[in-house]
Amino acid sequence: MLSATGLVAGYGKDRPVLNGVSLTLEPGRTIGVLGPSGCGKSTLIRVLALLHKPDAGQIHLDGEPVRRFRYAAPAELRRRIGVVFQHPRASVDPRHTLRRIVAAHLPAGAAPEETDRLAEQVGLTPDLLRRRPHEVSDGQLQRACLARALGSGPRYLLCDEMTAMLDASSAAALVHLIRTRRDLGVLMVSHDADLLDACCDQTLRWHELTSTPSEAVSHGRNRAPVAGMFRE
Amino acid sequence: MTAVLSVQNLSVRFRLRDAIVQAVTDVSFELAPGRLLALVGESGCGKSVLAAALLGLLPGNAEVRGRVLLGEEDLSAADERTLARRVRGRRVALVPQSAATALTPVRTARSQLVETLKTLRPDVRDLDAEADRLAERVGLPPADLDRYPHELSGGMAQRVVLALALAGDPQVVLADEPTTGLDRPLVDRTVDALRELADDGRAVLLITHDLAAAERVATDVAVMYASRIVEHGPAEEVFTDPWHPYTRGLLEATPARGFRPLPGHPPDLSALPEGCAFRPRCPRRDTCTDDPAPRRVAGRMLACAHPATEEVSC
Ligand code: SF4
């Protein structure tokens, strides 16, 4: 499990963006968090990804408390958590080919076939892998970012408004891919209730995260994912 | 009503060092006052190039064929001076992609609006009163015009940008992805405001990949795929009974309608296939052999050769 209890975090001491946020992810479940933009969803993702040190509160990763964040976080822990951000163009090096982007988080010395396998999982064809970011659409680039996040073999996947910039078909394709990975514990944060309802096992509203974890679960709207999702 | 904007067999391509990008192919449509046409499609289908062409904002290496008529005037033949002095902002206004970056941070909304009014409508005597009127027109309390951009909420900034677009009293309003990255309530308010402009007698072209937003406000919809318009008709008909396999696929990909992605990828605009560009992704390709020439069927335009296409969904 990846769990957060009573997180307080922000970018200045006096005005925390997160104030007592608790949340638990477990493998095999997709949790949605619904909130307006600017509410602190991205900060939550950064803390859970160990990219931002909280001012108070606890993160537990598979039973172990996490004590070090950012560059100090042990690589072995960071590998267990994959992240996909809202703006694919802002999170890749424009000079790299998609093949290089996809391969970025594979263990050093991984065989080229590993990259092919990842690319295939997200539906990127070999000719797309040869291109650079400016030669592909946002949807195709976001697929590469998802493949990259999966490269480290994570148990948890955090998606920050992953589909906000994408057209409907690309968005559906990405979410579909994630849903086929039943081994992952997934967090999707978004301002789009339709999207979360269609793809999450459970959707929580932002303010529900600031109650205690057990309360948050009981207040959440439980929804089965739409049946059609898995039709090929 | 007769069209104020008429696009006739417009094609745009770019010659690059090692490739030719076919961004717009043989696009024709008309836009009348009081209508809101949504142009929808996946990213990279040529929508934004089409928008740039309508404003005469294409880069120098673009090769344009066909005509864009604004009333009697042929924009595709107009020089930059004419476009800048008589067309852009005055007869055709652009609502930009991001309200936040369209406003100058160091000046109040009012001073930006007044300055725009001064340039576009030198005849206006009481600029402040006219600015207030424009603010009210877009649902912004005039007092809020005295705020600086950082003091405006996202929704207020969006309204200021809309007021700026209306300053020149344009006949045609063109909005290019005006809602990308906005929350749903703000998306709704933004497109509702565009619809009000149409209800007011302007002609509005909304370019978007957000089908829910398009469905909410459009009177007509044109679906673009791989540089061509493949289906065009009254919004209500196209959304409830899409004919083209691509339109169907796009709608079925929305969270509200099943969330099923289309297989495969859109083609590269520098390597478009002969014939139907949707064929590799089309569920009907095995029973379809013809090359789809655009045809008119019951008041709709359709570029699909399959005989069963205009039958009720299967
Ligand atoms: S022309 Fe044929 S291949 Fe193309 S969209 Fe229509 S049915 Fe599909």
* Distance between B243 CA and the closest CA of chain A, angstroms: 18
Q: Is B292 in the pocket of ligand 1 (CB under 6 A)?
A: yes
Instruction: Kindly tell me if the per-residue pLDDT of B313 is higher than 60.
Output: no
* Distance of alpha carbon B304 from alpha carbon B233, whole angstroms: 14
Name the percent of chain A lying above pLDDT 90. Answer: 53
Residue B43 amino acid letter: S
Atom of ligand 1 nearest to the CA of B283: 8
Q: Is B288 in the pocket of ligand 1 (CB under 6 A)?
A: yes
Instruction: Kindly tell me if the per-residue pLDDT of B299 is higher than 80.
Output: yes
* Distance between A164 CA and the closest CA of chain B, angstroms: 6
Instruction: Kindly tell me if the per-residue pLDDT of A232 is higher than 60.
Output: no
Q: Return the residue of B nearest to A143 by Cα.
A: B265
- Ligand 1 centroid to residue A134 C-alpha, Å: 29
Q: Is B257 in the pocket of ligand 1 (CB under 6 A)?
A: no
* Distance of alpha carbon A198 from alpha carbon A226, whole angstroms: 6
Q: What is the pLDDT of residue A225?
A: 42
Banded model confidence at residue A226, pLDDT cuts 50, 70, 90 = very low
State which of A92-101, A221-230, B280-289 shows the largest mean pLDDT: A92-101
- Encoding tokens for residue B110? 């009012």
Instruction: Kindly tell me if the per-residue pLDDT of A15 is higher than 80.
Output: no
* Distance of alpha carbon B245 from alpha carbon B251, whole angstroms: 10
Alpha helices in chain B (DSSP H): 47-54, 80-82, 99-102, 109-120, 127-137, 154-166, 184-199, 211-217, 235-240, 245-252
Q: What is the dihedral of CA B207, B212, B213, B219, to 10 degrees?
A: 80
* Distance of alpha carbon B144 from alpha carbon B139, whole angstroms: 11
Question: Does residue A144 or residue A138 have the better pLDDT?
Answer: A144
Cβ of B43 and A138 within 8 Å? yes
| Through-space distance between the first and last CA atoms of chain B, rounded to whole angstroms | 35
Minimal Cβ distance to B183: which of A37, A167, A169: A37
Cβ of A36 and B209 within 8 Å? no
Q: Tell me: the pLDDT tens digits for B224-236?
A: 999 999 999 999 9
Distances (CA, A) of B224 to B3, B203, B235: 21, 19, 14
Q: Return the residue of B nearest to A86 by Cα.
A: B181
Of B243, B274, B278, B291, the one to substitute when testing ligand 1's pocket (max ligand atoms within 8 A of C-beta) is B278
Q: What is the pLDDT of residue B310?
A: 60
DSSP 8-state symbol, B88: B
In sequence order, the 6+-apart residues with CB closer than 8 A to the CB of A143 are: A122, A123, A124, A170, A173, A174, A177
Chain A CB contacts of B43 under 8 Å are: 137-139, 166-167, 170
Closest CA to B184 of A169, A175, A164: A164
Q: Return the residue of A nearest to B256 by Cα.
A: A194
**Mean local confidence (pLDDT), B258-283:** 89
* Distance of alpha carbon B2 from alpha carbon B204, whole angstroms: 14
Choosing among A125, A134, A167, which should be mutated to test the B contact, i.e. which has the most B CBs within 10 A? A167
Selected residues 137-196 of chain A with any CB under 8 Å from a CB in chain B: 137-140, 161, 164-173, 175-176, 191-195
Q: Return the residue of A nearest to B212 by Cα.
A: A168
* Distance between A170 CA and the closest CA of chain B, angstroms: 7
Instruction: Kindly tell me if the per-residue pLDDT of A175 is higher than 80.
Output: yes
**Mean local confidence (pLDDT), A121-131:** 90
The two beta strands, B220-225 and B203-208, are unpaired
Q: What is the pLDDT of residue B308?
A: 65
Cβ of B255 and A228 within 8 Å? no
Whether residue B46 contacts residue B225, with contact meaning beta carbons closer than 8 Å, is answered with no
Minimal Cβ distance to B259: which of A139, A164, A198: A198
The two beta strands, B62-70 and B36-40, are unpaired
Mean pLDDT rounded to a whole number for chain A: 86
Cβ of A172 and B44 within 8 Å? no
**Mean local confidence (pLDDT), B162-188:** 88
Chain A CB contacts of B255 under 8 Å are: 171-172, 192, 194-195, 197-199
**Mean local confidence (pLDDT), B209-226:** 95
Q: What is the pLDDT of residue A60?
A: 95
Least confident of A187-191, B181-185, B269-273: B181-185
Q: Is B139 left (phi over 0), alpha (psi -120 to 50) or beta?
A: left
- Ligand 1 centroid to residue B288 C-alpha, Å: 6
* Distance of alpha carbon B255 from alpha carbon B183, whole angstroms: 16
- Ligand 1 centroid to residue B266 C-alpha, Å: 14
Cβ of A193 and B184 within 8 Å? yes
Cβ of B43 and A168 within 8 Å? no
Cβ of A194 and B256 within 8 Å? yes
Q: What is the pLDDT of residue B110?
A: 96
Cross-strand pairs, A157: A82, A186
Least confident of A65-69, A177-181, B177-181: B177-181
Chain A CB contacts of B260 under 8 Å are: 172, 176, 228-229, 231
**Mean local confidence (pLDDT), A222-227:** 42
- Encoding tokens for residue B181? 């990255």
What global pTM score does this model have? 0.84
Q: What is the pLDDT of residue A228?
A: 38
**Mean local confidence (pLDDT), A83-95:** 92
Whether residue A212 contacts residue A22, with contact meaning beta carbons closer than 8 Å, is answered with yes
Instruction: Kindly tell me if the per-residue pLDDT of B259 is higher than 60.
Output: yes
- Encoding tokens for residue A118? 């990842």
Of B297, B309, B311, the one to substitute when testing ligand 1's pocket (max ligand atoms within 8 A of C-beta) is B309
* Distance of alpha carbon B227 from alpha carbon B251, whole angstroms: 19
Q: Tell me: the pLDDT tens digits for B46-92?
A: 888 999 899 888 888 899 999 999 998 888 888 888 888 888 888 99
Q: What is the pLDDT of residue A13?
A: 65
Closest CA to B303 of B243, B263, B262: B243
**ipTM computed for the complex:** 0.71
* Distance of alpha carbon A123 from alpha carbon A117, whole angstroms: 10
Least confident of A48-52, A112-116, A167-171: A167-171
